[in-house]
Each structure stands twice: as structure tokens, then as C-alpha cells.
Amino acid sequence: MEKLGKILNRIDSYRDAMIDMQIRLCAIPAMAPSNGGEGEYKKAKVLLAFLKGLEFDKIEMIKAPDLDAEGGYRPNILAYCSGNDSSKTIWIMCHMDVVPPGEFALWNGNPFKAWVVEGKVFGRGVEDNQQDMVAALYAVKAFRAEGIKPNYNIGIALVSDEETGSTKGIKYVLSHADPFKKEDFIIIPDVGNKEGTIIEVAEKSILWLKFTTYGKQAHGSTPERGINSFKAAAFLIRELDSLYRTFGGSDVLFNTPTSTFEPTKKEINVPNINTIPGEDVFYMDCRILPMYELGAVRNEISKCVQKVEKAFQVRIVTEEVQNSPAARSTSADAPVVNALKKAVREIYGGQAKPTGSGGGTIAGLLRRAEYEAAGWSRTDETAHQPNEYCVIENMLGDAKVFAHIFLQP
């Protein structure tokens, strides 16, 4: 308890430095090339310099080739700090990339020039995923400053490309330099709630679909001369709503206990009002409970498509934009889950419980590789929103949770 008290006090002393780090990192728009950015190169340089200043025992850079990114690669950083017992490593894994800011008019300030108001840091990426990236780094810094060794090895993983599929991030790391052991604790602080009482141990399958409907363009006043692709697509959306009934089971483990099948993005068809469109494109986001096979979902979708094709004499092409089957769940009694429960109870006073998530994180990729990964953080869940913010006390508190875990026997 004496060691933990020293560490917690030291973390409190870093409050201003942690805010400054947030502001500095926010000023680097580490967006993927596919999102109009240059990648994580500049952000990784700043983080590498910080890690070297902490004198980690070992720092590795794993470069995933990407000719569209600055430097020609996407950086992935693995930093190691030795503990009293090297039989396992306590990993904190965060992602360096951020999503685009969206509509600038919806922000109260420059999304890449962070500002502080009423105990919060505002800016793109400050919660997703910099809050716990900074928390983890300063937790380690506190150990170094106090001259205290953690009970087990600490690993800090800073990966790229999480927001656009992780092909250049953790997927590349796992296939080229897998640094993990089955005994390791792997914490992904990229999911949570305001109370910090959610420990994410399971994810739904993700299926993103693109539907292109081909009809026949015609003048708006003579619909009999054309085939309205937009109208057919609208009926298809209604038909696809039947998926909610066909796959209507529920699982209370998940915070949204049912599968979801939602039409989302809609592409522009014709530019003018008085033309019947001959081609129409929309997308669908499906989050499917692990109890259902993706093959069964695809079959039902195919039936819906065929029904609309026959009724409207259109051709519909279905493409999969993303296909991510649910991995096995992390055990609710896994050591990493129990360690998080204990730390959250003692630092925040809350009772955290294992939960399933509809969103996709890199934890799912690690579970698919047979590692016991758990997602956790305490956040206001403002990721991807305009005026995204990080509660400063959450950043400090999460650093203390990590420190508590680093000292657990």
C-alpha cells in the first residue's frame, strides 16, 4: 500500500504535464491515408521520444509498409519495462490514429488545437484513444520517478490503423512479430462508460454491406419508361428490416442485447429532381450476436435481394465492405478481468462487470488469436463526435487503475 500511495501521489503531480501531452498529440492529425491523412508517422516520433526519455528496457518499431502514408509505412511501437517477475507482461494497448473531425461548423473550436474548459480537454482524438495512451505512459513514468519496480513486466503497445481495419496495425504486428504470451494480461482501453464499470469481454460479428441497385434512368414525368432504382432500394431497405425478426434472439451479456441491422450511408444518385435514377447505392451496418452464423445472415439477405429484384425488375449487387466474425469471448473469470475489477473497485469505488460490445476494437483481433484481452476505460463516450472531450479526472484515474494492476501480485 505504501508503494501504491507513492505512485498515486506522483500521478496526481503530473496533471498539468498530462494535459500538455494531450494538447501536443492532438495537434498531430494522425488520420489514415484512406481518410485523407498522412498516417501516424509524426505522432509516433513524438511518442518514441517520450518513451526513450522514460528509459524503457526495450523499444521496438514494427513498420507496416504503406506507400500512401508519410515515410512509406505505418508505425507500431512496442515498449517493454521489466518487472520483478518476467513470467508475464501486463500490456496496455492503444491506437495512435484518429478519425476525421467531420463538419468543422459543429465544433466549438479547432478540432486539432485542443482547449481546456471546466475540467475537460476538447479536441479530436483526446478521448479516442489519447486519454488512456497518456494515462498509461504517465503511470509508467510514475514508477520510474519513484524507483519502484512493477510486479510483472509492463508492455506499452501503440498501434496504427485501428480506425480503418487494423491491417497496418495489430493485424500486421500479430503476423510479423507476435510479442504476446498466453499468460499475458492485455488491456485495450478503448471502450467504457462514465462510471468505469464495463469490462468488455466479447464483441458481435460485424458485417458491412454495400448494395448497388441497377434500374433504368428516365424523365421524372414518364416513370413508365424507366425503372426507379431508388424506389427499389427503398423497398429493399424495408425488406431487410425482417432480419430483426429472423435473428431476434438476445444475449444479456451485451449492452445492446440484440443483433442490429441498420441502413446507414447513402450515396448521391442523380443531381436533379426531375430524373428517375438508374443506379442507387446504400450501405448497411450489421452487428450480429455470436449465436448466429454469418452464413445464415447472408442467406436471408440474399432472399430479400432476390425478392426485390423480381418485384421491380432490377439488378442488385451486394458487396461486403467488412466481414469480421465474432471471436470467442474472454472468460468472465480471466485473470485480466479480475485484475481490472479489483483496481476499479479500489481506485474508483465501482463494481465493474464483464460486458459484450456491439462495437469493434482490436481486442476482438487478439481474442481471435487466442489471447485473453479485455477492454476497459472510464469515459464519457464522446469518441467520433464533434467536440470530443476527455475528462481530466478520468485520465488521472485511469492511470491510477493501470498503476494498481502493475502492482498486483
Mean pLDDT of 153-171: 95
Return mean pLDDT, the chain: 96
Confidence at residue 6, expressed as pLDDT on a 0 to 100 scale: 97
**Long-range residue pairs from 46-52, CB within 8 A, at least 24 positions apart, any chain:** 47/77, 47/96, 47/133, 47/137, 47/158, 48/77, 50/21, 50/137, 51/77, 51/79, 51/137, 51/156
Tens digits of per-residue pLDDT, 185-229? 999 999 999 999 999 999 999 999 999 999 999 999 999 999 999
pLDDT surpassing 80 at residue 359: no
Closest alpha carbon to 365 in 66, 157, 197: 157
Catalytic residue, chosen from 66, 128, 162, 190, is 162
Mean pLDDT of 42-69: 96
Show the cell assigned to 350.
465501482
Catalytic residue, chosen from 66, 97, 280, 398, is 97
Mean pLDDT of 298-310: 98
| DSSP H or E run through 198 | strand 198-203
Confidence at residue 324, expressed as pLDDT on a 0 to 100 scale: 85
pTM for the model: 0.88
- Establish whether 251 is a catalytic residue: no
- Establish whether 239 is a catalytic residue: no
Domain boundaries, the chain: 2-202+326-407, 205-324
Tens digits of per-residue pLDDT, 249-270? 999 999 899 999 999 999 999 9
φ/ψ of 392, rounded to 5, equals -60, -40
Residue 165: pLDDT band (50, 70, 90) is: confident
CATH of 205-324, one of 3.40.228.10, 2.60.40.10, 3.30.230.10, 3.30.70.360: 3.30.70.360
CATH of 2-202+326-407, one of 3.40.630.10, 3.30.360.10, 1.10.260.30, 3.60.150.10: 3.40.630.10
Show the cell assigned to 233.
432500394
